[in-house]
Amino acid sequence: MKLTVENVSKRYGNGVQALRDFSLELGPGVLGLLGPNGAGKSTLMSILATITLPSAGRVLWDDGKTSVDTAAHPNVLRNVLGFLPQDFGVYPNLSALEYLEYLAAIKGIDGKTAKSRIEELLTLVNLQSAKTRKLGGYSGGMRQRVGIAQALLNDPKLLIVDEPTAGLDPEERVRFRNLLSELSHDRIVILSTHIVSDVELTADRIALVAAGQLITCQSPDQLLNSLDGRVWECVVPPDMLAQFKSHHACSGMVRRQDGVHVRVVSDEKPWHNAESEPAVLEDAYLHWVNAPVEVAA
């Protein structure tokens, strides 16, 4: 089972270039697609979900038996696809149970299978006690959980979730991350987000995206190792902070009595009192997303 993105670009009619020559190959596991807002993540998700056609390049789905171009044969992929888009809409006058039954029928899932699958998913997303309430009365987090359930209805081989933890409280976010990890052993899961902590504990690989281009795709450990000896913490006087920030990539700041404690990504010691610190994923994200695209491998 493999999903291959080959030199995909997307230019919209208004002239916006959302993706540029994007290539990536995926197998079973969790890929964290990480980048700032406007990086092109949602456009890529839309193309992978066969909703939008690329302006150039192609996406290939290989189920181990045949390999197809998803633009030419979208239904081959749609039959094994689960998708939770960023802007997920619901029918406010339907209950969660009715809504999932409706979508199961659209997906061609037979009634007996659908009934048992829906009950399983409602338990999985912690909505059993609210399954007969109208969706119009749900909170944002509860609606998002319904969205997660609908994406899993057909037990997909390719699961794409775009900003899935929006509106979820901390406990629900942990629950969802654990769910993705459990699902990933026999399917491809793509988690698109701009929140570093959402991918830190779940992704096997992290693809960093900026300005519509793939900057790098590495395991979390590889990303951290790439910053070995390049992360520092120093104390900067408040009146010199603005000047310091203009010359250094700062990934964190805390004001204390002795000055501003600044976390810095730098090839060289950035300040006379700077001390080396172990890298965290936010440091790697800051470094790679702000690096010139041409230097990334």
pLDDT 10s digits, 64-89: 889 999 999 999 999 999 999 877 78
Which range has the worst mean pLDDT, 118-132, 145-159, 171-185, 230-244?
Answer: 171-185
Higher pLDDT, 165 or 210: 210
Does 260 score more than 60 pLDDT?
yes
d(CA 226, CA 274): 20
Of the pLDDT bands very low, low, confident and very high (cuts 50, 70, 90), residue 160 is very high
Where exactly are the structural domains of the chain? 2-224, 230-278
Q: Crossing angle of helices 170-183/140-151, nearest 10°?
A: 10
Mean pLDDT of 199-211: 93
Which pLDDT belongs to residue 179? 84
Does 294 score more than 50 pLDDT?
no
Superfamily of domain 2-224: P-loop containing nucleotide triphosphate hydrolases (3.40.50.300)
DSSP string, the chain: -EEEEEEEEEE-TTS-EEEEEEEEEE-SEEEEEE--TTSSHHHHHHHHTTSS--SEEEEEEE-SS-EEETTTSHHHHHTTEEEE-SS----TTSBHHHHHHHHHHHTT--HHHHHHHHHHHHHHTT-GGGTTSBGGG--HHHHHHHHHHHHTTT--SEEEEESTTTT--HHHHHHHHHHHHHHGGGSEEEEEES-HHHHHTT-SEEEEEETTEEEEEE-HHHHHHTTTT-EEEEEE-GGGHHHHHHHSEEEEEEEETTEEEEEEE-SS--STT-EE----HHHHHHHHHHS-GGG--
Of the pLDDT bands very low, low, confident and very high (cuts 50, 70, 90), residue 296 is very low
Mean pLDDT of the chain, nearest integer:
92
Tokens representing 231 are 């992360």
Of the pLDDT bands very low, low, confident and very high (cuts 50, 70, 90), residue 295 is very low
Which pLDDT belongs to residue 292? 61
What is the β-pairing status of strands 29-34 and 188-193? parallel
Which pLDDT belongs to residue 293? 52
Which pLDDT belongs to residue 297? 36
Which pLDDT belongs to residue 141? 84
Which pLDDT belongs to residue 184? 86
Strand order in the sheet with 275-276: 249-256, 259-265, 231-236, 275-276
What percentage of residues in the chain have a pLDDT greater than 70? 98
Look at the block and give the residue holding tokens 């290989």.
Answer: 62
d(CA 68, CA 111): 30
